[in-house]
Amino acid sequence: MKIFVAVATLFSLFINSLSGGLITTDKDNAVSASVHTDISYGEAERNKMDIYLPPKTSSDHTFGALLFIHGGSWTSGDKSSEAYLCKRYSEKGYVTATINYHYIDADHPVSTNMDDIASAINKLQSFCSENGYNVTSLALHGFSSGAHIATLFSYSCPERSVIPLAFVVNMAGPADFNSETWHEWHYDQNTGPSLAIMLYGMKDLGENVKGPSDIPPHKLQEIIDAMSPAFHINENSIPTICGYAGDGKDGIVPTKNKTITFENLKKHNVKSDCFTFENSNHILIGDMDVREALYARVDEYCKEYFGY
């Protein structure tokens, strides 16, 4: 699967470029949070999460929470890259958390990541409850491959969350793995389907499967659909905030992923706010005014769906 390795390498070149300080905090309204690091939510080494608990204002106060999922081409990255956003939103009085999760490999397809998220949410709820925090609503936020994982969970199996999901934030996430979606730059017609196969997991497909051409067309389409968040969008999908690079500017996630996401949310009348970073590449820092506007909208969603 040389195509997957090449694309994964390209993704990983950009992920660690993200740094704290991209989003300023509201100093006038900031509150200090207690930070609890490397809390285990499962048995695997990477089943660790950091939880930020804001001060409690009253014994009967209910809390909204945001769970941040890092990027890294499904094969790299660390929860620490989301610390600045955890801090920003904990200072606004929300419970926040950032997780590590299984990297994709032969033994851990993306279904393992769905289990990771469900387990992390279970742990978040129990940890908060043990510490006197009643969390009643949750938003997921992901960047790049983390956005793919966040939206796939939100659209395909939201019922697995023990805390009701309020909305999801998709920052430059791959949304569709059909061949034609990946016809941009150097990518060939097998790129999208090859990524879908790797995410789906090859072990159960047979030892003779080396790529898309080895799988019957109907089964290949089933795999592509299952791995594509955009395929799972329907009229019952949760509200969504999206951020994507300008047309042809990303360099990693082809533009059609943005187009399909925007169109499907609109088609199914899902409440959404979609932002285009016209001058940005994959890491979305070329348009700081757009970035500030997007996070201002996240603030509005928090107030609307968390009630404060």
Q: What's CA 56's distance to the chain center, in Å? A: 28
Residue pLDDT, tens place only, 45-83: 999 999 999 998 877 899 999 999 999 999 999 999 999
Return the H-helix or E-strand segment holding 222: helix 217-227
Mean pLDDT in residue range 235-264: 98
Is the distance from CB of 67 to CB of 97 less than 8 angstroms? yes
The two beta strands, 134-143 and 165-171, are parallel
Main-chain phi, psi angles of 44, to 5 degrees: -75, 155
- Name the nearest CA neighbour of 298 among 172, 170, 144: 170
pTM: 0.92
CB proximity list for 225: less than 8 A, separation 6 or greater: 231
The CATH superfamily label for domain 2-306 reads Alpha/Beta hydrolase fold, catalytic domain (3.40.50.1820)
Q: Are strands 272-277 and 240-245 parallel, antiparallel or unpaired?
A: parallel
Burial 65-97 (b: 16+ CB within 10 A, else e): bbbbbbbbbbbbbebebbbbbbbbbbbbbbbbb
* CA distance linking residue 125 with residue 53, whole number of Å: 12
Domain definitions of the chain by residue range: 2-306
Q: Tens digit of pLDDT for each residue in 269-291?
A: 999 999 999 999 999 999 999 99
